[in-house]
Each structure stands twice: as C-alpha cells, then as structure tokens.
Amino acid sequence: MKLWQKNIASLREVEKFTVGNDRAFDLLLAPFDVLGSMAHVTMLESVGLLTNEEKTTLLSALKDIYTKTLPSSPTDTAFTIEPGVEDVHSQVEYLLTQQLGDTGKKIHSARSRNDQVLVDIKLFLRHELEGLVQEVHSFFELLQSLSEKHKEDLLPGYTHLQLAMPSSFGLWFGAYAESLVDDVITLRGAYDVVNKNPLGSAAGYGSSFPINRTMTTRLLGFADLNYNVVYAQMGRGKAERIVAQALSNVADTLARLSMDACLYLNQNFGFISFPPELTTGSSIMPHKKNPDVFELIRSHCNRIKALPNEISLMTTNLPSGYHRDLQLLKEHVFPAFQSLRSCIEMAGLMLSHIEIKKNILSNPAYQYLFSVEEVNKLVNTGVPFRDAYKQIGLDIEAGTFKYSTAIQHTHEGSIGNLCNPAIHQQMEQVLKGFPFAAVKKAIDGLLNAG
C-alpha cells in the first residue's frame, strides 16, 4: 500500500531508486510516528472529525503498536515495515486498518505525509539531542575531575607547536571541559529549533479542516508551533543543518582532544600513557603502543564536522515546498548521533585510564618555557618590560639563561586558579535551560491518556 498510489504502477527500477534506504531509517522514526498519530487522533476527536469511541479505539491500538516500536520489544513481535509497504506512515496506517477497518483509515484526515515526516523527524531529533546532551555532560564531569586531580602536574604549553610557556594537565583537561559548555549551548539552540511543532501544516499549505494545532503542540510536549505552514515545510533541511552544526561543534572538541592525545602519547613527547589493552601493537614492531582509539575518534569526528556542509549543499537552491531531495538527509544525519555518542564513550573510556607522567618540566629540554617567568621577575623589580625582554633574550643567546621552575599564576583561569567550580556552574546553568522534564511529562501523559 502506498498513500500516494493512484492505480498507476511505477517502474520497479524507479520505485527502488526513489525509496532507497528510506525504509531502514524509517524504523528509527517508528515510535515517533506513533506518538504523532496519537496526538493527531486526540485532536481530531476534539474538533469532531472522530467520535470519542473511535478515538479510544485508535489510541488503544496505537499504544500497542508503540510498545512494538521500542528497542525493548521482543524480536518476534518487534515493529517491521512489511514487504510492499512503502514507509513507516503507511505501515502504521496499514496495521490500524487491518485491526479496525474503516476507523483505521480515518487517521490521515487533515494531514499529509509531508507533515508526518516533519513531526517524526523533529521528535526523533529532539530525543537524540537529549541523549547526546546527557553523554556530553558525563564526559564533562570526567574532564573536570581529571582537571582537579592533575592540577599540580605541569605540562609544556605550545604555540605553533613550539615550546611556549608552562601549562598543566589541570589546564589541559579543564580547557576541553569548558569547550563542552559552549558546545552544549549550541546543542540547546538546536534543541530549541527542533522543539517546535510542524504538525497541521499538511502538504505545506494548511488544511480546510478546523484543526487545533495548539492542542497537538501541547500533547507532544513541543515548546511552540512552527506557525506559518509554508515555513514549517521550509524548515526541513534547515533544522537538520542546525542540528548538524551543533553536533559538529562537539565533534571538533573531541577531534582536537584526540589529536593532543596522539601527540602526547608519542615517544618524543611521552607525557601520557595507557594500559596495553587500550592501545594496539604492530605486526612487526614489538615496542608499538598505537593510539588507534583516538585516531578513529579523530576521523569519525572530522567526518561529522563535514556534515553541515553536506546538508547545505544537498539543500542548495531548493525553492519553497517539499522536494524529494530532502529524503536523503536522514541517511546522513541519523547515523551521526550514534557515531558521536560512540566517540564520546570511547574517549571517556580512554581518559578514565590515562596515566600522567610526573615532573615533565624538570627536564632541561623545557628550560625556555620559563623565559617569560624570568622576564616578569625583572619587571616586578621595576625594569621596563621591553628592557627585561631584551635582557633575557640576550642571556638565552649567550647560553647564560638561568631559571626557576617555580611558578605563581593566580589570575582567573590560570594554572593556579582553574575556576573549575565556575565552569561547572556554567554547564549546570545551560543544562537547566533544556525542558527535558516537561517533554517527558507530556509524552507520558499522551501514552497514558484513555
């Protein structure tokens, strides 16, 4: 069964090409398609397009289908899209029609596959963003704990990959923790975009039925509507691009951290190490401990960083209204969530077992890291900065440079004042802005309604 079928058989090759991988990705949308239908059915009854008995019967059947769409459903009863059925929307309607006859056919009143897809995708993205935020938060907490644990362990700082000034592992871990705060801010922006209800926009031009879009917004836990029905359709592609940009920000943080880890594990640096079981060896070089996990995180994340550009190019120059080009977005966006979550989990596993080398800066090879410290000491005695800079430079050139490894950095965000509690407070403030509890309450209410 195909909702658009008009007794004209498509060529098999055309159908295969146009459906593509959509059925596989539609399985991910199944629970959200059922939720959207439950809200729609409830609204149809409220405006007189269904009787109360029909609503009750449909909701009961939809709840049964919903349990089968969940990952916890037994394999033998799990939701599938049967051969000959085009997509998830058709499958749900087919099941309802099989069970309820003509009543099952009524659920498509006042909506189109266009707004069904839109609401399914927004509900899916909203759910995935919540899971991702929780993963990022856990990783943030790990980085903060490592920052505190290793705040006394000094580390060379680099600019242009040249020795620059003293740093610390506390600063290094803490930098990536604070980076995640900004990343979560962008995830919050993406969440706000997807947390608007497109249902009721139909094919993109609304409906002559007196539907209540505010009601479905409330039932599905959306914060607000996509009011203009044309924009609701135009938002497809844009919402995915905004989400992809937020994902790419998290990916960029992980990729950069992974590059640092690869460098620091290199024998020429030797700043960190990991248990043998977390690294890989060589088929011919018995000494090798390769950072394969971080290398793969780096590559996966760099691919995710390309995602916003892919989506932008796929939607370039599309006029208003729906276009089949948009179908392909799912196979680019959907897998990115699992890929990014896996990268976060593996980065967390690695850092949970990281071993830090102590007293790195006692090595004379790092003596020039302290040149700025010596300049500042002269400045504190009243020597003008430019003169102090020149004097230390001449000492270095002459081979008479003397230094102390004792450092005293006290300003906010420096080695001696990491401000981790303030950074933690920033993260907590961002997290409070997500309406996760309100969304859960709305969905629970929808599933428990009679």
pLDDT digits (tens, 9 = 90+) for 244-253: 999 999 999 9
239 with 121: CB under 8 angstroms?
A: yes
- CATH architecture for segment(s) 12-108: Orthogonal Bundle (1.10)
Rg of the chain on CA atoms, in Å:
28
Three-state SS annotation for 179-202: HHHHHHHHHHHHHHHHCEECCCCC
DSSP code, position 437: H
**pLDDT tens figures, 385-444:** 999 999 999 999 999 999 999 998 999 999 999 999 999 999 999 999 999 999 999 999
pLDDT at residue 33 in the model: 97
- Over 70: is that where the pLDDT of 10 sits? no
Lowest mean pLDDT among 140-144, 179-183, 253-257, 318-322: 318-322
* Same-fold call for 12-108 versus 113-360: no
The dihedral over CA atoms of 215, 218, 223, 228, expressed in degrees to the nearest 10, equals -10
pLDDT at residue 15 in the model: 67
**pLDDT tens figures, 79-98:** 999 988 889 999 999 999 99
- CATH architecture for segment(s) 113-360: Up-down Bundle (1.20)
**Separation between Cα atoms, residue 433 and residue 89, nearest integer Å:** 33
| Mean pLDDT of the 263-290 span | 85
3 state SS of 162: strand
* Confidence band for 274, pLDDT divided at 50, 70 and 90: very high
CA distances from 354 to 49, 146, 179, 332, 424 (A): 62, 9, 20, 33, 22
Please give the mean pLDDT across all residues of the chain.
93
Domain boundaries defined on the chain: 12-108, 113-360, 363-418
* Confidence band for 107, pLDDT divided at 50, 70 and 90: very high
* Confidence band for 13, pLDDT divided at 50, 70 and 90: confident
pLDDT at residue 288 in the model: 72
- Over 90: is that where the pLDDT of 12 sits? no
- Strand 224-225 to 196-197 pairing: parallel
**pLDDT tens figures, 328-360:** 899 999 999 999 999 999 999 999 999 999 999
pLDDT at residue 207 in the model: 94
* More confident site: 16 or 3: 16
| Angle at alpha carbon of residue 110, lines to 107 and 113, rounded to 5° | 75
| Mean pLDDT of the 251-267 span | 97
**pLDDT tens figures, 370-386:** 999 999 999 999 999 99
Burial zone of 133 (CB within 10 Å; 0-12 exposed, 13-18 middle, 19+ buried): buried
Q: 0.85 exceeded by the pTM? A: yes
**Separation between Cα atoms, residue 89 and residue 239, nearest integer Å:** 21
